[in-house]
Chain A
């Protein structure tokens, strides 16, 4: 948003800085910043590996592409102890109610990463059996395309999510 939009505002910043500030959407207090930082540092994913993307997710958690650099190597088995659901793989019609149930069982605040094109949009399987995008069932924060996405792509998606969490208002 160009600075000309603000009439009579003299902030002493360059247009790019203003743009960045407004893009972030909020002006954070230090408590918000601290909570946002803590939340992003220690997200625990729930195991929701379904198909091929699950193997790449496991590779991302293994030695070479190490998710524990960001505190995420601890995949919780129970959704009640998790705050991130990485939907990794194709979601079939039979699995959709289960997915929604697991999402509902997660406590707030929770985030969803849709990993792979099958989870994001149905992928190459535009047919009767696959849900054409999990965003028809659960709200998705980050979509990571790929078939399957390399672990580095998943890590990039996680970093984007962490940037989003860091700048969100925790006490809504």
Chain B
């Protein structure tokens, strides 16, 4: 916006014109330039190492160019040199806020190549764990989004809830993050004894905590002011830019892979897909809160099914199922004494087979698949190519954050700089997934 500076000339006051050097020769107006500032890669409010080159006119963003690659890890190349099961440990660290979804997508792809299906109990456990992971991921969105907008207490509450969920993950899988729990063929181990009681307590506690968030933020005038009308991305733009997940659902398109192309048993669960139509940051916030509630609904159903679905949690076929049989042995580690006795004393073939499985792992027939799951951020796809070996040939991770981040310039160009922070927070990108 150019201000009319023609009558601010110093000649009117009889003073020397000190701004003469900054005046345009032809029109006599003060020259104006846009300012290019660099936000990141180290910056307190960019969700990880994202660099934004912003061209600003005053406070308005004219152009925005995201520069990524500061967390590029070479995960895809690394999986080509490790066995199929070791690939799970690599792939789980791509989108590190929803590690179970990475593992699930990869394992579903490998299972499709192998032509097997995980046993029913493993599928129920997978659904339960993944939905709890969705809740944990949305809590991080709330916590970091709130922190970036200045609501520091939301960050503390979000992490408080997340600690309860991570404690459960630690009980079930042994790790708080990056678990490598879901493997091709099932899951690693069955739930330990104290897990059902913890899950029950969690499922009883979390809905009230979500009520707390709604009370704190829903009608909060500052939260509404900073989020309503900010980062608007219409449905056509979103679909053209390949955006999926809560952003697309907040724009009015009810696309959810759990309903559209169900996988892993989701067609047997009863849940809704929350959709809003305003397509701004506030709508995305509401969609994520509703999604947390729906996830808890699914987790409740999955938990109730656990008792009715006994059985193994890993495929029985010894050429595929790995690890063989884990149970806590007398030394406190997972060496099943029965299995050890079998391979060490009873059967030579079993020992050879065990050795081959440890060093080489599963042999997957040649082919390629694209397996997609609905992660908290959108469509998380795995394009897996095998050439018949015991190592992947190519694993491409179609990460939702990578594609969603392309939409950031469309969301913030023409608006204020401060809104770009709110828009970025509502996108919820995870740079580990963007850069892999």
A, B bound: yes
Residues of chain A whose beta carbon lies under 8 Å from any beta carbon of chain B = 47-52, 54-56, 58-59, 62-64, 75, 77, 79, 89-90, 92-95, 98, 102, 124-125, 127-130, 147-148, 150
B236 within 8 Å of A by Cβ? no
Distance in Å from the Cβ of A154 to the closest Cβ of chain B? 12
Q: Which residues of A contact B72 (CB under 8 A)?
A: 92-94, 129
Given contacts A48-B42, A94-B70, A127-B77, contact A55 B140 (CB under 8 A): yes
Q: Which residues of A contact B74 (CB under 8 A)?
A: 125, 127-130
Assess whether B73 is in contact with A98, with CB atoms less than 8 Å apart.
Answer: no
User: In the bound complex, how far is the Cα of B97 from the Cα of A59, in angstroms?
Assistant: 13
Q: Which of A58, A94, A147 contacts B69 (CB 8 A)?
A: A94
**Chain B 159-185 against A: per-residue CB contact (8 Å), 1 yes, 0 no?**
110110010000000001110000000
Assess whether A98 is in contact with B178, with CB atoms less than 8 Å apart.
Answer: no
B141 within 8 Å of A by Cβ? no
Can you list 7 A-B pairs with a CB-CB distance of less than 8 A?
A51-B431, A52-B178, A56-B177, A59-B159, A59-B163, A63-B163, A90-B71
Distance in Å from the Cβ of B77 to the closest Cβ of chain A? 6
Complex interface: stretch among B88-96, B259-267, B390-398: B88-96
Assess whether B70 is in contact with A77, with CB atoms less than 8 Å apart.
Answer: no
B144: nearest chain-A partner, CB-CB: A58
User: In the bound complex, how far is the Cα of B431 from the Cα of A49, in angstroms?
Assistant: 11
Distance in Å from the Cβ of A143 to the closest Cβ of chain B? 19
A64: nearest chain-B partner, CB-CB: B163
Residues of chain B whose beta carbon lies under 8 Å from any beta carbon of chain A = 41-44, 48-49, 69-75, 77-78, 89-90, 93, 96-97, 140, 143-144, 155-156, 159-160, 162-163, 166, 176-178, 431-432, 435
User: In the bound complex, how far is the Cα of B290 from the Cα of A71, in angstroms?
Assistant: 37
Given contacts A50-B71, A56-B177, A92-B69, contact A62 B97 (CB under 8 A): no
B93: nearest chain-A partner, CB-CB: A52
Q: Which residues of A contact B431 (CB under 8 A)?
A: 50-51
Q: Which residues of A contact B48 (CB under 8 A)?
A: 49-51, 54
User: In the bound complex, how far is the Cα of B144 from the Cα of A37, in angstroms?
Assistant: 33
User: In the bound complex, how far is the Cα of B90 from the Cα of A95, in angstroms?
Assistant: 20
Q: Which residues of B contact A50 (CB under 8 A)?
A: 48-49, 70-71, 431
Given contacts A50-B48, A58-B159, A59-B163, contact A102 B42 (CB under 8 A): yes
User: In the bound complex, how far is the Cα of B74 from the Cα of A169, in angstroms?
Assistant: 42
User: In the bound complex, how far is the Cα of B163 from the Cα of A59, in angstroms?
Assistant: 8
Q: Which residues of B contact A147 (CB under 8 A)?
A: 178
Q: Which residues of B contact A129 (CB under 8 A)?
A: 72-74, 77
Distance in Å from the Cβ of A159 to the closest Cβ of chain B? 20
User: In the bound complex, how far is the Cα of B166 from the Cα of A52, in angstroms?
Assistant: 14
Assess whether B97 is in contact with A130, with CB atoms less than 8 Å apart.
Answer: no
Assess whether B160 is in contact with A62, with CB atoms less than 8 Å apart.
Answer: yes
Distance in Å from the Cβ of A134 to the closest Cβ of chain B? 14
Q: Which residues of A contact B166 (CB under 8 A)?
A: 59
Q: Which residues of B contact A125 (CB under 8 A)?
A: 73-75, 78
User: In the bound complex, how far is the Cα of B156 from the Cα of A36, in angstroms?
Assistant: 31
User: In the bound complex, how far is the Cα of B42 from the Cα of A75, in angstroms?
Assistant: 13
Given contacts A59-B163, A95-B70, A128-B74, contact A47 B42 (CB under 8 A): yes
Other than A55-B177, A127-B77, A129-B74, give 19 A-B pairs with Cβ distance below 8 A: A50-B70, A51-B71, A51-B73, A51-B96, A52-B93, A59-B159, A59-B162, A62-B143, A77-B44, A89-B71, A94-B72, A95-B49, A98-B42, A98-B70, A102-B42, A124-B93, A129-B72, A130-B73, A150-B176
User: In the bound complex, how far is the Cα of B399 from the Cα of A166, in angstroms?
Assistant: 45
Assess whether B432 is in contact with A95, with CB atoms less than 8 Å apart.
Answer: no
Q: Which of B41, B69, B97, B156 contacts A55 (CB 8 A)?
A: B97
Q: Which of A95, A124, A127, A128 contacts B41 (CB 8 A)?
A: A95
Assess whether B71 is in contact with A92, with CB atoms less than 8 Å apart.
Answer: yes
Q: Which residues of A contact B97 (CB under 8 A)?
A: 55
A60: nearest chain-B partner, CB-CB: B159
Distance in Å from the Cβ of A117 to the closest Cβ of chain B? 12
Q: Which residues of A contact B435 (CB under 8 A)?
A: 92
Q: Which residues of B contact A127 (CB under 8 A)?
A: 73-74, 77-78
A127: nearest chain-B partner, CB-CB: B74
Distance in Å from the Cβ of B209 to the closest Cβ of chain A? 13
Assess whether A98 is in contact with B44, with CB atoms less than 8 Å apart.
Answer: no
User: In the bound complex, how far is the Cα of B43 from the Cα of A75, in angstroms?
Assistant: 11
User: In the bound complex, how far is the Cα of B431 from the Cα of A94, in angstroms?
Assistant: 14
B436: nearest chain-A partner, CB-CB: A129
User: In the bound complex, how far is the Cα of B160 from the Cα of A125, in angstroms?
Assistant: 31
Q: Which of A47, A89, A94, A128 contacts B44 (CB 8 A)?
A: A47
B45: nearest chain-A partner, CB-CB: A77
User: In the bound complex, how far is the Cα of B155 from the Cα of A148, in angstroms?
Assistant: 20
User: In the bound complex, how far is the Cα of B90 from the Cα of A147, in angstroms?
Assistant: 12
Q: Which residues of A contact B44 (CB under 8 A)?
A: 47, 75, 77
User: In the bound complex, how far is the Cα of B94 from the Cα of A124, in angstroms?
Assistant: 13
